[in-house]
Structures are given as C-alpha cells and as structure tokens.
Amino acid sequence: MRLLKLTLLTLVALMMALPAQGRKRPNYEITLKIDGGTDTMMMLGYYYGRSNKVVDTAFRDKRGRFVFSSTTDTLPEGLFFFANSKGHYVEFVVYHERPFFEFETQQKEWMENMKVKGSAQNDFFFAFHREEGVLSSELMRQEMLMDSADYALFYRKQMRRLDSLKTAYVERDTSMFLSKMMVATKDVPPPLVDANGDTLTDVQRRDYYLAHYFDHVALDDNAMVNTPRKVFYDRVMEFYDDVLRYAPPQIIIKYMDPMLDRSKKAPNVFQYLLVSLTQKYLQSKVMVYDEIYVHLVQKYYATEDNWWTSPSSIEKEALRASKWERLLVGREAPELILYDTLHVPHSLHAMPYKWKLLIFWSPNCGHCKHAIPEVYRVFEKYQQEYNLCAFTILSDPDDKTRKEWKEFMAERQMNSIHWLSLDGGEANVDWHDIYDVQTTPQIYLIDENNVIQAKKLGETSIESVLTAICGNK
C-alpha cells in the first residue's frame, strides 16, 4: 500500500513538471521589477555595431514586473539594456547563460541598486559598476569643491584608480563578458626590443602595432558585435580611418585579410566586418581604394558561405567588381571610338597627346553644370604645358539633350580644338557598361600609353592631381 502511494505521488509530481498541453517553453524569460517606479512600459534592446536594436517591449503587470518572454524569438549574446520612454536605461549581459534572469532595483539609481537572480555574468557586471559608481560620484563631488588645479590632479588619480579597478576585474575572471569588453578597448603597445634584445626601429615597432592591433579584440566571438560602438565598431574603424590613413591598398589588404580570416569562427562578426568594409571601400573617394573593394568581393563574396545575402546580390557585387578591376589605377583604359558633332570618329587610344582627360558628363546633370566649366578652366590653363587633351562624352545622347549640350558649350565658350566633344549615342562598345558609368561627371586621367593614372576626379581636385602627376613626369 505504501509503495502504491509513493508511485502515485511520483506520477503526480512528474505530471505537474510537464508543460501545459500545447504550451511551448519560452526561449528566454527576463523580468525586471523597479520598486517605486511609475513606468507602465519598458523596452528590451541590445547594441549592434554603431547602433542598437529594440527586440521586445513589456507592460508592467499586477506584481509590478516587466516580463520579457518569447517562444519563437531568441536573444543573441552581448550587451543588452532596459529602457523606458524617457530615455532612462540600464545595461546587462546575456552571455553563455540561459537567459532566464530576474532583475530588481529601486526607482532611484537603477544601476547602483540592481539585484539579479540566475546570472553569474550579471552579478560580476553589476559588482564592477557599483564600485565604478563610487569613484564617479566622488569625482563629481570633488569637482564642486576643488579649484581647477587641485581637481586636475584628483581627476588623474581617480582615472588611475579606475584603470586599476578594471584590471582587477579582468584578472579576477577573464571569461566574463565584461572582462572581454574592457580588454577589447586596450591598445597593444609595441615592444622596444625584439626577442634577442636588439632595439626595434620605428618602422619595426609600427609593423608590430599593425600586426597586433586586434590581439585584444575577441573577433572569434559573435557577442563582440553586440557591444557599444566604442568597444567594437569604433575600434575597428579607427584602424582603417586613422591608423592606416593614406596607406596604399596593398598594405590595407595585408592587415585586413588576417582580421577577416580570424573572424570566420564567429559568423555574425565576419558578416558585420565584411559588409561594413565592403561598403566603406565601395563608397571611398580615394581613387586607388577601388582595389580593396575588388579584393573583398573576389576573395570573400565569391568563395565564402555568405548566408546573409542572396545569390543575386552576390552576383551583382561580383559583376561590379569585375568591371572595377578593369578600371583600376595602373590598368590600361578600355578603348573607346566615338563620333564628334560632325560625325568624325575619334579613338581614345590614338589621341596623340602625352596626357588625356576622359570625361563622361551631361548638361542634365546638376553637378556637371557647375563642375564641367571649372574643369574646362583648369584644362585650358595646363593644356599646352602638359600636352593635354580632353576626350569628353555626352552621357545622355538624345535629341533634346544634344541641343542643350551644344548650347551649354557655346554659352561657356568651350571651343578648344584639344577639347573633343563626342556624342555617346554611337560607339565601338557599350561604354556605360565598360566604364560602369552610373553617375556623372566621371573623370579619368590617362597617360600617353593609355594607362589610367587617376580617376574619381572632381572640379576641386583636378588641378592638384594634374600638377602632382603631370607636372612630375
């Protein structure tokens, strides 16, 4: 009889532990309670690159809690935040733990009063911020009491204490996500001597710095992309915008490839880096950086599992990269044969000049109306000195535009015999496609061997480019 009772009790316990019929267990359930709070709605979000995303909202229930839960959606790992409609927010961590957390705090000072259940990561996170808050509060208090000189000394002292606090927490547990974020913002100082004790030159130290710049950034961890921009995005872009500013494309590619290859272990990081860098160099106004865009597309889009985009998008990028590859600085300009206003044919390659400007433009283009007269002025100024000609093509060849084109040139006395005005309606090739003419004006500088020496020229840069290149050869 006793055995039967135990069996029945066990069965009842098992049945109570099972989810209700038809009810799925949530993928996450995070609750927030703010004692003394008046908010009726709260948002849940996380950081992503240089922005942030709101993924859920909750309304305060009868117990004063905000409950975020979903049976369909999942949460990525990274740094999250609760935020109200007034912009008040508090951060927390989702990392290597099942996101079933309970948070409770006071209306006054959300961060300092936060308590958490079910998360060692957040225990660590809030413990640090409470200690950091003490240092910050003391800094603010002394700013009101001290004169500027004394406060400057006190400020430096507090910053050293804050650095020591960060170091202590990192050393306490490097597996915590807070530790990974704090480490990611640290530079890797180059050594003064090598392994043999020999003094490194400035060039060697810079090479070391470039090669080890990302040593502290966990590029192989998907959670890194879901951090505030100063932790990940700014760190990455600083490398390309500042550290490698003005570097030739070969050097940028040399250090870019190891970074991207390392990030392949974290698909979300790889995706973010590849897309961001591809767009950066697609839109770059630096003429030689087209080579970087071509490299990224041909090396990574054509060969990697780009799960985030469609085959048609990849094909589009590959097609554009193949066009740009033919138009890189240092490549031979594709031959063009077009007719002038008297229907006389002219060959770009056969033009007997030391330097040639290849210009695509239209009087229908608002920018062209301002830019082309200025380009013509510079052209006339240097035509004789540099043995220069202009091979200019009407990019909208229809009857109405042809009339406007001729009137535009006549009004501005653009009548130099060395400035060839050619109708784009009939040519040996589809120059729109060959030269990838999507916008106008487009201006190339080509030498006597028909090699592209400069591109992406504008009315503000053409004179300096001509004097720098043509004046030194």
445, 452 Cβ separation under 8 angstroms: yes
pLDDT, tens digit (0-9, with 9 covering 90-100), for 308-317: 888 888 999 9
As a whole number of angstroms, the distance between CA 105 and CA 275 comes to 39
State which of 118, 140, 160 marks the end of a domain. 118
pLDDT confidence band for 472 (50 / 70 / 90):
confident
**Within this chain, do residues 342 and 436 fall inside the same structural domain, yes or no?**
yes
> What pLDDT score was predicted for residue 353?
97
As a whole number of angstroms, the distance between CA 373 and CA 378 comes to 9
Domain span at residue 237 reads: 217-326
Question: Is residue 462 in some structural domain?
Answer: yes
**Within this chain, do residues 351 and 413 fall inside the same structural domain, yes or no?**
yes
CA distances from 182 to 117, 119, 191, 231, 306 (A): 24, 19, 22, 8, 30
Question: Is residue 40 in some structural domain?
Answer: yes
Question: Is residue 15 in some structural domain?
Answer: no
147, 132 Cβ separation under 8 angstroms: no
pLDDT confidence band for 24 (50 / 70 / 90):
confident
Question: Is residue 75 in some structural domain?
Answer: yes
Question: Is residue 54 in some structural domain?
Answer: yes
**Within this chain, do residues 138 and 89 fall inside the same structural domain, yes or no?**
no
Question: Is residue 14 in some structural domain?
Answer: no
For strand 388-394 and strand 355-361, is the pairing parallel, antiparallel, or unpaired?
parallel
| pLDDT exceeds 70 at position 370 | yes
Domain count, the chain: 4
State which of 326, 360, 390 marks the end of a domain. 326
Question: Is residue 77 in some structural domain?
Answer: yes
Q: How many CB atoms sit inside 10 A of residue 320's CB?
A: 16
42, 58 Cβ separation under 8 angstroms: yes
Tell me phi and psi for residue 372, to 5 degrees.
-65, -40
**Residue with structure tokens 């990030």?**
263
**Within this chain, do residues 365 and 435 fall inside the same structural domain, yes or no?**
yes
Taking residues 415-421, what's their average pLDDT?
A: 96
> What pLDDT score was predicted for residue 412?
94
> What pLDDT score was predicted for residue 8?
47
**Within this chain, do residues 352 and 319 fall inside the same structural domain, yes or no?**
no
pLDDT confidence band for 7 (50 / 70 / 90):
low
pLDDT confidence band for 294 (50 / 70 / 90):
very high
| Cβ partners under 8 Å of residue 241, min gap 6 | none
Residue ranges of alpha helices (H) inside 173-232 are 177-184, 202-212
CA distances from 374 to 97, 380, 402, 414 (A): 63, 10, 21, 11
**Residue with structure tokens 């992503």?**
48
Residue whose C-alpha is closest to residue 184's, from 231, 244, 227: 231
| pLDDT exceeds 90 at position 4 | no
pLDDT, tens digit (0-9, with 9 covering 90-100), for 40-80: 999 999 999 999 999 999 999 999 999 999 999 999 999 99
**Within this chain, do residues 435 and 371 fall inside the same structural domain, yes or no?**
yes
Helix 120-145 to helix 148-172 angle (10° resolution) is 170
Core vs surface per residue 3-25: b (16+ CB within 10 A) or e: eeeeeeeeeeeeeeeeeeeeeee
Considering the chain, what is the average pLDDT of its residues?
Answer: 92
**Within this chain, do residues 77 and 176 fall inside the same structural domain, yes or no?**
no
**Within this chain, do residues 167 and 137 fall inside the same structural domain, yes or no?**
yes
| pLDDT exceeds 90 at position 140 | no
> What pLDDT score was predicted for residue 23?
65
Residue whose C-alpha is closest to residue 289's, from 255, 317, 249: 249
CATH number of the domain within which 42 lies: 2.60.40.180
pLDDT, tens digit (0-9, with 9 covering 90-100), for 203-261: 999 999 999 999 999 999 999 999 999 999 999 999 999 999 999 999 999 999 999 99
pLDDT, tens digit (0-9, with 9 covering 90-100), for 342-354: 999 999 999 999 9
pLDDT, tens digit (0-9, with 9 covering 90-100), for 153-187: 988 998 999 999 999 999 999 999 999 999 999 99
State which of 326, 345, 380 marks the end of a domain. 326
> What pLDDT score was predicted for residue 22?
54
> What pLDDT score was predicted for residue 141?
86
Using CA atoms of 102, 108, 110, 112 in order, give the dihedral in degrees to the nearest 10: -100
**Within this chain, do residues 344 and 307 fall inside the same structural domain, yes or no?**
no
**Within this chain, do residues 299 and 354 fall inside the same structural domain, yes or no?**
no
97, 117 Cβ separation under 8 angstroms: no
**Within this chain, do residues 349 and 288 fall inside the same structural domain, yes or no?**
no
> What pLDDT score was predicted for residue 15?
44
> What pLDDT score was predicted for residue 340?
94
Taking residues 405-425, what's their average pLDDT?
A: 95
Taking residues 132-137, what's their average pLDDT?
A: 90
Question: Is residue 7 in some structural domain?
Answer: no
CATH number of the domain within which 421 lies: 3.40.30.10
473 or 333, which is more confident: 333
CA distances from 314 to 277, 280, 446 (A): 15, 17, 31
**Within this chain, do residues 322 and 341 fall inside the same structural domain, yes or no?**
no
